[in-house]
Amino acid sequence: MLAQDRLHHTSDQPQPSYEAEWPIARIVSVNGSQAIAVLNKPTAYNAGVPRADIGSLMKIETPRGATVGVVSAQSIPAPSIHGGEELRIIELEMVGEFITAGGRMVFKRGVSVFPVLGDTVMQATHEDLVKIFDSGSKTSIAIGTLHQDREIRVPLFINDLLAKHFAILGTTGSGKSCAVALVLKRLVERFDNAHIVVFDLHNEYSTAFGVRSEVISPEKLTIPYWLLNFDELVEVLAPSGMNRDFEIEILAQVIPQARKRYMAQFGSSSGMRSGAGLRKAQDISLIAQDTPLPFRMADVLLALNEMMGKLDRSQPTMPFIRLKTRIEALVADPRYAFMFGGYSVQDTMAETLSKMFRVPSNGRPLTILDLSSVPSEILNVVMSAMFRLAFDLAFWSRGQIPITLVCEEAHRYAPVKGAGFEPTRRAMARIAKEGRKYGVSLCIVTQRPSELDPTVLSQCNTILALRLTNQLDQDYVKSATSESGVALLDFLPVLGKAEAIVMGEGVPLPLRIRFDELEAASGLPNGQSAPFSEVWSAPPLDPAQLDDIVANWRAQRKLDGAAELPPLAIEPPPASAEPPPPPPKPGLSSLRRNPIV
C-alpha cells in the first residue's frame, strides 16, 4: 500500500504502532544542515502516531537511503483564534544518514544526500535506533539510555572519547560527580591495565571505586620539590615581593649548583638509581634549571650563604634573607610535608611516577590523588607539575603508557587568560593540543565552563553537558561546540538530575541521555550537600569536641585522625662541603624562631 493512500483509510482500522514507519510530515524548506517540515493534519487514524517531541530523531527518505535529523524546534506561524486548521511546523537539524553497505543499511555521521522539497518525514523506529547506536567494531562502554527510547543503550566510543579529550559539565546538584564516577567505573571494569589519575580536590572519590583504585591520601602524598621545574620552584620559593626579580636571578644560580653538588657527591652511590642518572661524569656540566635530578635544600641554603659572603657592603642582603626565611618556613610547615618532608633526599623519580600513574597497574588501574589538604597557594604548582610529568612520561615512553587525567574543578587551575598560574594553564593547554600524539588525554570536569581557559574546552571533542542554569555558561558551551545538533543545548537549563546532552566524536550523534544509576554497594562519590536540617536538629557539640577540632585544625589533620606528620627536613651540610660563613646579624630569620607570645 502506498504511503499517500494510507490517509484515506477509515478510523475503524487499527491505529499505527510506534514501530510502524508512518509519515508524520513533509519537507518544505532545506537550508544547509537544517530543514523545515510541515506536520500532517491530525486525523482519527493517525492520532496514535508518536509526537515529534523536541530532541527526538526523525528520518527522511532519500534515493540512497534516509537522512536522520533531530527535532530542534516547533511552531505554529499563524495560530487559529477560533480553533480552525493551523499550519504546524517542525525544524530539523540533520546529523547523519542510513546508507547501504555490504547489502545492509548502516548509519554513518554526516550527510551526503540532502532531502528535497516534498520528501516524507517519519519518526525513527526502535530498529532504526538500534542500528544508529550499534557500536559495531568500535570498542565502547555503555553509560545510560536514550531519552527517546529507554530500551536503547548509549555507547561511548573509547578511542574517540579519550584520544581527543572530553568534558563533563554541570551545575552543582546536577549529578556531575556521579557521571564522572560512572564513566570511570566502566573504564576500569573493562581495562585492567589502564592509567587513570583523578585530581580530587574535595575528597569525593576515595570510596567510589573500591579495590580497583589506589587512593593517595594527604598522609601518603609525596611530590618531591626537586621534581618541580624552575617556574614552579619560583612560585613556591619566591611567590611575591618587591625584590622578586632579584630573588629569581638568585634561584637561577643556586638551584643548578645544588643539583650539580648532589650529583657530584651521590651520582654513583646509593643516592641515585642505577641507570637512571647521567651516564658520564662530564655530563654534570649539562645540568640545567629544569633537569629532573634530585638536590637538597641544605645545598641551596649553603649556596645562598656563600653568595651572601661575597657581597659588597653596598649590595642588598634582604633578597637572600627572604629566600632563606621562606625555605625554612616551608620545611617547618606541616602542610608542605608532602613536598619538603623526610630526612634524606634520594632519587625516587621512578617510584613516584609508578605510584602516581599506576605503572604497572597491579589490578588498580586508577589513582585518586586526594588534594583536599594541599594549601590553596600551592595547588596550582602541584597541578602544573602533574600535567608536565604526565606529558613528559608519555613523550619519553613514545606512547607506550597512555594516561587519562581527570581534572575536577578544572576552572580553578586553568582559568581564563590573565588569572591563575600561567605554567599550569600552559601545561594543561599543551596536553589539550598535543597530548593526542603521545597518549595523554584530559577529562575536564567543571561547573563553571565560562571561567575555563577557552583553549582547553575547545580541544574537547566530546562533551557531556548536564544541567547548566547560568546563561553565560550555556552560551560558552554553545560557542565551543561545532557539532551539528547544537540546538539540543537549549535543553541545558531544564535537564533533570542525571540527564545530559552528549555530543561529539565519542557518540554516534548528538543526543539526550539518562545516565545509569550507580549502585550504593559498589561505592558512590561523596558529593552530597551538607544536611543542615538533620545536623541542626541533632544534639550540639560539647566543648571537648570543639577542642579536638581545633587540635586537628592546628595539626592539619582530618577529624578521623591521621598518621604522625613526617619529620622536618632541613639537613646539615655534608662533612666534605666547605663550612658556611658566619651567620648574618639577627634579623627576620632569628625573629621567626622566637615564640609569639
Would you say residue 406 lies in a domain?
yes
Tell whether 209 and 358 lie within a shared domain. Answer: yes
Question: Tens of pLDDT along 171-186?
Answer: 988 999 999 999 999 9
Q: Is residue 475 part of a domain?
A: yes
Evaluate if residue 571 carries a pLDDT over 50: no
| Statement to judge: residues 126 and 159 lie in one domain | no
Output the average pLDDT for the chain.
82
pLDDT tops 50 at residue 321? yes
pLDDT of 582 > 70? The answer is: no
Q: Are both 268 and 352 inside the same structural domain?
A: no
Q: pLDDT at residue 565 above 90?
A: no
Q: Are 200 and 240 within one domain?
A: no
Question: Do residues 315 and 426 share a domain?
Answer: no
Residue 297, SS3?
Answer: helix
Task: Answer yes or no: do 497 and 357 share one domain.
Answer: yes
What cell does 548 get? 579536638
**CATH value at residue 182:** 3.40.50.300
φ, ψ of residue 515 to 5 degrees: the values are -65, 150
Q: Rounded mean pLDDT of 209-227?
A: 90
Beta-strand (E) ranges in 63-195?
A: 65-75, 89-101, 104-109, 120-123, 140-146, 153-157, 166-169
Residue at a domain's end among 466, 491, 509: 509
- Name every residue whose Cβ is closer than 8 Å to that of residue 114 and which is 6 or more positions away in sequence: 30, 62, 67, 94
- Which position has the grid cell 592509567? 195
Mean pLDDT of all residues in 127-138: 87
> Hunting for cell 552530597 — which residue is that?
528
Nearest to 263 by CA among 353, 342, 346, 351: 346
pLDDT tens per residue across span 385-439: 999 999 999 999 998 999 999 999 999 888 887 666 788 888 998 999 999 999 9
CA atoms of 92 and 53, how far apart (whole Å): 11
Handedness of CA 24, 26, 31, 33 (dihedral sign): positive
Domain assignment present for 520: no
Q: Say if residue 354 is in the same domain as residue 494.
A: yes
- Cα separations (Å) of 261 from 72, 268, 324, 573, 578? 67, 13, 19, 11, 12
pLDDT, tens digit, 9 for 90 and up, residues 376-389: 888 889 999 999 99
* Residue ranges making up the domain that contains 359: 141-148+151-222+348-509
> How many domains are there within the chain?
3
Please identify, among 100, 132, 164, the residue that sits at the C-terminal boundary of a domain: 132
Please indicate, yes or no, if residue 453 is contained in any of the structural domains: yes
Q: Could you tell me if 194 and 178 are in contact, meaning their C-beta atoms sit under 8 angstroms apart?
A: no
- The C-alpha atoms of residue 282 and residue 315 are separated, in whole angstroms, by 34
Q: Looking at residue 588, what is its pLDDT? A: 34
The segment with the largest mean pLDDT, out of 135-149, 333-347, 386-400, is 386-400
Q: Which of 52-56, 258-262, 277-281, 371-375 has the lowest mean pLDDT?
A: 277-281
Residues 467 and 586 in one domain: no
pLDDT beyond 70 at 269: no
Q: Would 49 be classed as within a structural domain?
A: yes
Domain co-membership, 402 together with 461: yes
In a domain, 522, yes or no: no
Decide which of 413 and 283 is more confident: 413
* Co-location of 362 and 263 in the same domain: no
Same domain flag for 166 and 116: no
Q: Is the pTM of this model over 0.75?
A: yes
Q: What does the pLDDT average to over 205-209?
A: 90
Boundary-marking domain end, from 99, 132, 165:
132
Model confidence at 264, in pLDDT bands (50, 70, 90)? confident
Q: Are residues 480 and 394 part of one domain?
A: yes
28-77 residue pLDDT tens: 999 988 999 999 886 544 555 667 888 889 999 888 789 999 998 899 98
In a domain, 596, yes or no: no
Q: Is residue 533 domain-resident?
A: no
